[in-house]
Chains A and B, each alone.
Chain A
Amino acid sequence: MSDDAELRARVKALESLLVERGLIGADTVDQIVDVYESEIGPLLGAKVVARAWVDPDFKQRLLEDATAACGELGIGGLQGEKLVAVENTGSVHNVVVCTLCSCYPWPVLGIPPNWYKSPEYRARMVAEPRTVLAEDFGLPLGEDVEIRVQDSSAEVRYFTLPQRPVGTEDWDEERLAGVVTRESMVGVAVL
């Protein structure tokens, strides 16, 4: 692994040459990252999930064509050109991984967290999900729960539709969205 001083110099060298050549602007990099730090993240996916919980017709459209259903809420675009939502129930539990790199539904969940990109997650989730979920994420699933691991190896970007927590029957959509976590939409947590 290179040290931080070397990495900082390599990054500045690339940026300065690209700016000098007029290929990018001096303002471009910060403007782009700001978008991902301030506008895009799991709060968007939480809106989708909360809508599906309160609106059965929307939920059906979401499970049939998540790209179109998310589009109804103005959610979509880069790295979410083809979205699929998979439903977690008491009997079937889906979990999402990308073993080859780090494919992730950016417009719904933002850019992926470190654990999702880690070699440990990528190597082990497809082979021993029951153990990884129980031991590393504190999510022990009953033997009767069927586990489906979705490896995002082509163009579809997946997220999971978690079960609505019990005791929230009289909550409105906004309050519901507040309890939906990123982890529950990747399938490493339940609510």
Chain B
Amino acid sequence: MSRKYINRGDRPTKEGFGEGLLASGSRHPEVITLGADITTSVGVNLFADRFPRQFISLGIAEQNCVGVAAGLALEGKIPVFATYAVFAALRTTDQIRVSVCYNNLHVVIGGAHAGLSVGPDGATHQALEDLAVMRVLPNMTVLSPCDATQTKIATIQAIHEVKGPVYIRFGRAAMPDFTSEKQLFEVGKGQLLHPGDDMTIIATGHMVWEALQAAYLLKKDGIHARVINIHTIKPIDREIIVTAAQETGAIITAEEHQVAGGLGSAVAEVLAAAFPVPIKFIGVLDHFGESGEPKELMKKYGLTDLAIVKAAKKIFTLKPNL
């Protein structure tokens, strides 16, 4: 439990998606992948090359892609539609809401290049609102795995285990790959990655690694922060969150997303009703991103281990005496 996670080498989480998709396609002719032109950059090309009869190119027409996916799902296929998260989740929101979610169809939507870390492309291509929008749709499951290895496992489960509509978010920038394929991964169950009783850092996606680094730094100052990975934004693991609040008395959330509507909001909704404690939110504060290198952007918008450490030290003084 208290072992230190080691980065085996930086890898983009989109590689995990591509690998998971590839693993899901063999012996499953019902898995059909839809292409909206940018198949290589979202990791769908491997699947398309290996299973050409299970791949349909539909061009730059995301709204149509989602409707076609719904039609395939109605006939028992398992359609997977992946493109940049800004388009996959936001351009198509009404199609996802009505054709997919209202019909409660098992359609897998992959949101690639999510978050600020997509970098130089700038604000139009930096999805910072996708989790918020996908999370409010009835019937939808929302996944936000923390590294390439976990994205592979989450992709396979999204395709073969989850029932109904599912959105899975992943990124482009090479980021630390530190979880193990053997680690228990259950949709809807948070993962306790690091023990601690002074406070809890609840993180998702790329920010999980930053949260771990923050916990290691805090330990040197004698502060023991618990770290929880919430890879499933919906349905969220209430139990692990409430227990953390009860046992540690203060919460920090960390996400590469708008604070409004994302992980921070989801955690606050749980705690406001069940066990209110002080919370600090690390995320983007009602702002668009901009061009820059991934690491530069993460630093500018306060999405780093040091920003978490700072918030942790502050919240430590706000904590009620338990």
Whether chain B is bound by chain A comes out as no
